[in-house]
Amino acid sequence: MARVLGLVAAVAAAMADVGARAAPAPLEAYGALPSLEQLAISPNGRLLAIDFVKGEQRTIVIEDLTAQKIVTGVKVGDTKVRFLQWAGDDHLIITSSVTSGILGVLVDRGEWFIATDLNVVTKKLAPLLGDVNLSGNMLFDNPVVRDVGGKPTLFVQGVRFVGEEGQATLFRIDLDGDRSTPIADTSGELGVEYLVGADGKPAAVTQYDGLSKSWVLKVWTGAGWRQAEAEKAAIETPEMLGLGRDGRSILVAAKEGDDYIARELAPDGSKLSDPLPIPSDARIISDPASHRLIGAAALNGDELEYRFLDPDDQLRWRAITAAFKDKSVELASWSNDRRRVIVRLSADGEAPSYALVDLDAGAAVALGSEYPGLGPGDVAHVEAVSFKAADGLSLSGYLTLPNGRDPKKLPLIVFPHGGPAARDEPGFDWWAQAMASRGYAVLQVNYRGSDGFGWKFMSAGFGEWGQKMQTDLSDGVRYLAAQGTIDPARVCIVGASYGGYAALAGAALDTGVYRCAVDVSGLSDLSKFVGWAKDREGDRAAAGTERYWTRFMGASGLADPHLAAISPAAHVDKVTIPVLIIHGRDDTVVPFEQSQIMLDALKKAGKRVELVVLSREDHWLSRSATRLQMLQATIDFLLRNNPPT
């Protein structure tokens, strides 16, 4: 096995031209997509699927770990692979996404997910839902696998048309011929999510009507759906997480007071248990064979913590983590018996990597690094920071310090995360590391409104766009300046999505803090953005969309003048620093129009502004070429306007 795993690592290394180089590492080493993006081990633990990336090209390789040979491989070009999963030991399901309209014409452009079945035995690829009229091979959730009559069977949530009406449909797919059979339908504009039981039968469905603010959960009776729960929910709806501890119950999380509480419902919808000890921001862990709940993973402070319900499972996980001293260990994939485990490893000063743990053999073997072009000295130290905002709220974040420099009077890049209901986490961040490699300290603040710190902290951000959410960032600058770590006269701000809005707001609203600003795919005119987001939805969904955004922005509706008060494009007269705007034309989350509005306003006001357009790039910087283009443009701009020495 060691020899075969060594081959896997060698293949990964061969796909990146490391070569001889001088420090610091070239930006390509940081800005290219990870050379290993997806890994999945088969249910029997024998086959390992790896998505290798080199430049814009992907190759999915399947390795037989027992026979020590490559079974098959398929080149998928520049396909945006999002997820690999096994359906039995003979079928690998490849989920990818494409930026387009449904069937090219039916709706506005969006990021649509599709799935393909790679038959390992026949070596053939087949698109799923290809036999469904007008389905467009379009998925609304990740496929799920169930064992039905001793045979692995795939279930996907898609759409089918009955007459002229599209219906959210749950399909069962027989993988022998990739034949699709609809087994449950829900019509109308309602948001729909299905749960499949361990037996392969529909277990539950949730629906949400944003217009009437109504959420319902229905259970399958064998003859049809019966409503089990209902509640009014203006924005925060309960969430169906999966199957419960017995593999038959329904696991649901709902907001109660200042937190989300997970609980189980019996198959008939009746309450089964008291709240479970699962953190609100946890990732649920299910048994790969029975699909029952067995644990959860969540950050505890700055440590990723796995909590298993069974003490024996907890001991097994401790044995796995003990094999990797001083590293954070994340579960990536495991066999059905949970004896062969793929883990993702990260540590301060290192790029993330993967390893295979064989509990029966008592061995752990390296598989390869995500960034093989980054050697010792190319990854900077990251430390946790905490400070008080001006109003006394406790804030936290992470500070990346450039290698080889005394951490005093450093130039600083403030790097706010997107979302805004998201969070920065400890560990390797390719973008932050690239900026640190050029001599900058990089501050990532989990400002109020960030997720993962409880409901009270998130709701403290409501109505604070451009206000306290913004000054949380500059309060971090003032804290580091008071510590003597950074030079307050040499600070720029860089961000994407909401972080891009924060970069523009740093230039137009919270002035006097930054020397320059880089906005990647950010928002500039909030009223137009919310209107655009509404227009993309049906009437029932649009009502909830408007409520979500205007609550965070602190507005009563699209006509509220407060939206202009916190829109950077309305305040370009206050901008005194150079601004770089970068945006992909295929962005379906924040439209390119938002950058054009800011660009035009800055130019009209005679301000210093540059625009970089990313061709064929979506909101998530999913392509190596344009990711590197963005990074190169950002670094060049920073070096010109805020030189590190």
Contact 563, 553 (CB under 8 A): yes
Give the contacts of 224 (CB within 8 A, at least 6 positions apart).
none
Cα–Cα distance for residue pair 146/170, rounded to 1 Å: 14
Average pLDDT of span 500-528: 98
Average pLDDT of span 237-242: 92
Q: Which residues pair with 127 in a beta bridge?
A: 116
Is the confidence at residue 19, as pLDDT, over 80?
no
Of 565, 450, 553, 470, whose CA–CA distance to 513 is shortest? Answer: 470
Average pLDDT of span 237-259: 90
Average pLDDT of span 44-48: 97
Q: Output the DSSP codes for 528-565.
A: HHHHHHHHTS-HHHHHHHHHHHHHHHT-SSTT-THHHH
Average pLDDT of span 23-28: 90
Where b means 16+ CB within 10 Å and e means fewer, 609-642 reads bebbebeebbbbbbbbbbbbbbbebbbebbeebb
Cα–Cα distance for residue pair 624/495, rounded to 1 Å: 18
Residue of higher predicted confidence among 262 and 279: 262
Q: How confident is the model at residue 286 (pLDDT cuts 50, 70, 90)?
A: very high
Residue of higher predicted confidence among 402 and 55: 402
Average pLDDT of span 506-526: 98
Is the confidence at residue 5, as pLDDT, over 70?
no
Residue of higher predicted confidence among 7 and 634: 634
Give 574's DSSP letter: G
Average pLDDT of span 142-156: 94
Contact 396, 446 (CB under 8 A): yes
Average pLDDT of span 287-312: 94
Cα–Cα distance for residue pair 424/453, rounded to 1 Å: 11
**What pLDDT, on a 0 to 100 scale, did the predictor assign at position 365?**
92
Give the contacts of 404 (CB within 8 A, at least 6 positions apart).
377
Is the confidence at residue 642, as pLDDT, over 90?
yes
**What pLDDT, on a 0 to 100 scale, did the predictor assign at position 300?**
86
Is the confidence at residue 3, as pLDDT, over 50?
no
Specify the pairing of strand 609-614 against strand 579-584.
parallel
Summarize pLDDT for 579-595 with one digit per residue, the tens. 999 999 999 999 999 99
Average pLDDT of span 7-34: 63
Token pair, residue 535, equals: 């227009």
Q: Which residues pair with 181 in a beta bridge?
A: 172
Give the contacts of 473 (CB within 8 A, at least 6 positions apart).
414, 416, 445, 447, 493, 502, 506, 510
Residue labelled with tokens 């020397």: 515
Is the confidence at residue 159, as pLDDT, over 90?
no
Q: Output the DSSP codes for 341-373.
A: EEEEEE-TTS--EEEEEETTTTEEEEEEES-TT
Q: Which residues pair with 395 in a beta bridge?
A: 387
Q: How confident is the model at residue 13 (pLDDT cuts 50, 70, 90)?
A: very low
Q: How confident is the model at residue 222 (pLDDT cuts 50, 70, 90)?
A: confident
CATH class, domain 381-525+567-641, is alpha beta
Q: How confident is the model at residue 101 (pLDDT cuts 50, 70, 90)?
A: low
pTM: 0.92
**What pLDDT, on a 0 to 100 scale, did the predictor assign at position 21?**
37
Average pLDDT of span 478-503: 98
Q: Which residues pair with 86 in a beta bridge?
A: 92
Summarize pLDDT for 365-390 with one digit per residue, the tens. 999 999 999 998 999 999 999 999 99
Cα 207 from chain centre: 24
Cα–Cα distances in angstroms (integers) from residue 527 to residues 54, 324, 469, 563, 591, in the given order: 41, 50, 19, 6, 13
Least confident of 55-64, 103-112, 167-176: 103-112
Average pLDDT of span 256-275: 86
Least confident of 156-170, 276-290, 336-350: 156-170
Portion of the chain with pLDDT greater than 70, in percent: 93
Cα–Cα distance for residue pair 71/63, rounded to 1 Å: 6
* 3-state SS record for 479-503: HHHHHCCEEEEEEEEEEECHHHHHH
Contact 458, 421 (CB under 8 A): yes
Is the confidence at residue 235, as pLDDT, over 90?
no
Cα–Cα distance for residue pair 596/609, rounded to 1 Å: 12
Residue type, 573: D
**What pLDDT, on a 0 to 100 scale, did the predictor assign at position 108?**
64
**What pLDDT, on a 0 to 100 scale, did the predictor assign at position 102?**
52
Task: Indicate the average pLDDT of the chain.
Answer: 91
Cα–Cα distance for residue pair 221/181, rounded to 1 Å: 19
Least confident of 176-180, 210-214, 435-439, 538-542: 538-542
**What pLDDT, on a 0 to 100 scale, did the predictor assign at position 188?**
61
Is the confidence at residue 10, as pLDDT, over 50?
no
Residue of higher predicted confidence among 409 and 222: 409
Q: For the chain, where do the domains classified as CATH 3.40.50.1820 start and end? A: 381-525+567-641
